[in-house]
C-alpha cells in the first residue's frame, strides 16, 4: 500500500509499505478515508524528537475492510473512528477512563504499529479501540468533525478535564493550535462562563472567537500572565488548559491559574519543568497526559452528529496522500492550523 514515510527531519516521503493483514483475532484492518497531520507530528518533523522508521500519523477515520474472528463490535463496511491510541477497554485503567494507560494498549504510527497516514491500518484490539459511526450519508463538514474525534477534539476536552474545569468557570487556553482551539470549543460545550484564548495570530483569534472565546490575549510570557490577571481582577483563572508543551507555555499556564486551581497539560512536554515551590505557595496543581479520547468519543460523537459541535473547522489546509509533505510544511510554517489528508 501507499503510505507516508518519515525519512528524517523535514523529509516526508510517500512510498510502499506492507499491506496490513489480520495478525490477531482481535485485529481489524481499516481502509483510511481521511487522515491528518498532528501538531505532535511536528516534533519529529522538526528533528526535536526521535521517531522509529515506520508508519507515521495517528489520526484517521475509515471503513472496516476485515476483522479478526474475535471482533464483535465492528464489521466490514462500518465507518469507524480510531482514537490515536488503541486499548482493550477492559483493563483497570480503561475501566477508570484512562485508555491511554491500557495494559495492552499502544499508539498508532511507530514502534511497529501502522500509522494513520497510509491507505490501510491494522488496528489491534479493535473492539476496545474503534468506534463505529451509525450508518448514513455524512457531508464533508461532518466527516471533518468526525476526524477530529480521533485526537484533537478529545485532547482539547481532556485538557479541561485534567484542569477540573466546570460550568460557569473562567477558563484560559494556552496555545492556539488545533488542540488549543478544540479546548476553546470544549470549554464552551462545558458551559464555561468566560473563555480566555491566548493567541497572537489573527486567523486563529478569529476561529477562537467563533469557537466561543470571550477574550483574546495576544501577549506572551510574563506579559500574558499580567494581561490575564488584569482581566480577572488579579485573581487568575479557575482552570488553565496547557496545549503546547513547552516550558514557556507551562509557566504561563501556572502563572494565570488562580490559587487552588489546576493546570491541565496536554501539550507533549518538551523542556517543561514544574516548579514545586510555586505550586506549593498557592495550592496549585498540574495534571498532564495523553488524552484517553476513546473515553470521550461516544459523547463527542453524539454532539457532532447532532450538529452541536463543529470541530472540523480546525482544518484549513487540504491535500492528498501523495502531497502530504505539503501538509506538514504548511503546519511547520504556521500557514495552516491543521492539514487534512483525503484518500481517493
Residues that bind a second copy (CB under 8 A): 92-93, 96-98, 100-101, 162, 233, 235, 250, 258-260, 262, 265, 268-269, 272-274, 276-277, 279-290, 292
Q: Contact 301/323 with Cβ under 8 angstroms?
A: no
**Spatial separation of the C-alpha atoms in residues 70 and 75, rounded to whole Å:** 11
Which lies closer to a second copy via its Cβ, residue 278 or residue 335? 278
Which lies closer to a second copy via its Cβ, residue 7 or residue 283? 283
Nearest to 294 by CA among 27, 32, 101: 101
CB of residue 248 to a second copy, shortest distance in Å: 14
CB of residue 112 to a second copy, shortest distance in Å: 19
Which lies closer to a second copy via its Cβ, residue 132 or residue 279? 279
Count CB neighbours of 95 within 10 A: 11
Name the pairing type of β-strands 28-36 and 106-107.
unpaired
Interior angle at CA 1, CA 141 and CA 9, nearest 5: 80
CB of residue 21 to a second copy, shortest distance in Å: 31
**Spatial separation of the C-alpha atoms in residues 28 and 272, rounded to whole Å:** 37
Nearest to 174 by CA among 101, 254, 102: 254
Which lies closer to a second copy via its Cβ, residue 20 or residue 245? 245
CB of residue 155 to a second copy, shortest distance in Å: 12
Residue 162: strand, helix, or coil: helix
CB of residue 260 to a second copy, shortest distance in Å: 4
CB of residue 99 to a second copy, shortest distance in Å: 10
Which lies closer to a second copy via its Cβ, residue 122 or residue 158? 158
User: For the residues of 172-223, what is the DSSP string, one character each?
Assistant: EEE--SHHHHHHHHHHHHHT-SEEEEE---HHHHHHHHHHT-SEEE---HHH
Nearest to 68 by CA among 1, 21, 116, 134: 21
**Spatial separation of the C-alpha atoms in residues 25 and 5, rounded to whole Å:** 28
C-alpha cell at position 281: 505557595
Q: Contact 113/106 with Cβ under 8 angstroms?
A: yes
Which lies closer to a second copy via its Cβ, residue 69 or residue 283? 283
- 3-class secondary structure per residue, 277-290: HHHHHCCCEEEECC
CB of residue 324 to a second copy, shortest distance in Å: 27
Which lies closer to a second copy via its Cβ, residue 158 or residue 313? 158
CB of residue 159 to a second copy, shortest distance in Å: 12
Which lies closer to a second copy via its Cβ, residue 221 or residue 259? 259
Amino acid at each position: 500500500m501507499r503510505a507516508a514515510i518519515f525519512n528524517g527531519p523535514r523529509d516526508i516521503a510517500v512510498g510502499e509499505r506492507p499491506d496490513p493483514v489480520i495478525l490477531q483475532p482481535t485485529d481489524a484492518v481499516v481502509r483510511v478515508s481521511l487522515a491528518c497531520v498532528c501538531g505532535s507530528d511536528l516534533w519529529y518533523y522538526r528533528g526535536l524528537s526521535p521517531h522509529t522508521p515506520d508508519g507515521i500519523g495517528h489520526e484517521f477515520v475509515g471503513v472496516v475492510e476485515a476483522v479478526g474472528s474475535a471482533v464483535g463490535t465492528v464489521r466490514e463496511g462500518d465507518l469507524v473512528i480510531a482514537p490515536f491510541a488503541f486499548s482493550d477497554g477492559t483493563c483497570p485503567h480503561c475501566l477508570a477512563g484512562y485508555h491511554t494507560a491500557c495494559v495492552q494498549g499502544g499508539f498508532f504510527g511507530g514502534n511497529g504499529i501502522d500509522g494513520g497516514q497510509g491507505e490501510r491500518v491494522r488496528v489491534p484490539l479493535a473492539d476496545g479501540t474503534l468506534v463505529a459511526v451509525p450508518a448514513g450519508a455524512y457531508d464533508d463538514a461532518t466527516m471533518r468533525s468526525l476526524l477530529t474525534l480521533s485526537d484533537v477534539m478529545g485532547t482539547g476536552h481532556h485538557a479541561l478535564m485534567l484542569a477540573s474545569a466546570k460550568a460557569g468557570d473562567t477558563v484560559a487556553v494556552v496555545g492556539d493550535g488545533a488542540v488549543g482551539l478544540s479546548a476553546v470549543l470544549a470549554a464552551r460545550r462545558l458551559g464555561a462562563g468566560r473563555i480566555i484564548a491566548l493567541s497572537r495570530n489573527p486567523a486563529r483569534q478569529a476561529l477562537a472567537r467563533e469557537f466561543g472565546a470571550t477574550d483574546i490575549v495576544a501577549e506572551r510570557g510574563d506579559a500574558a500572565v499580567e494581561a490575564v490577571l488584569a482581566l480577572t481582577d488579579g485573581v487568575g483563572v479557575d482552570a488553565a488548559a496547557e496545549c503546547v508543551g513547552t516550558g514557556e507555555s507551562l509557566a504561563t499556564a501556572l502563572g494565570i491559574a488562580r490559587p487552588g486551581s489546576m493546570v491541565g497539560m496536554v501539550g507533549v512536554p518538551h523542556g517543561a519543568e514544574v516548579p514545586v515551590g510555586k505550586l506549593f505557595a498557592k495550592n496549585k496543581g498540574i495534571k498532564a497526559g495523553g488524552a484517553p479520547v476513546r473515553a470521550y468519543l461516544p459523547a463527542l460523537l453524539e454532539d457532532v452528529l447532532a450538529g452541536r459541535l463543529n470541530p472540523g473547522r480546525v482544518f484549513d489546509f487540504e491535500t492528498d496522500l501523495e502531497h502530504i509533505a505539503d501538509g506538514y510544511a504548511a503546519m511547520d510554517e504556521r500557514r495552516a492550523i491543521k492539514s487534512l489528508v483525503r484518500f481517493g
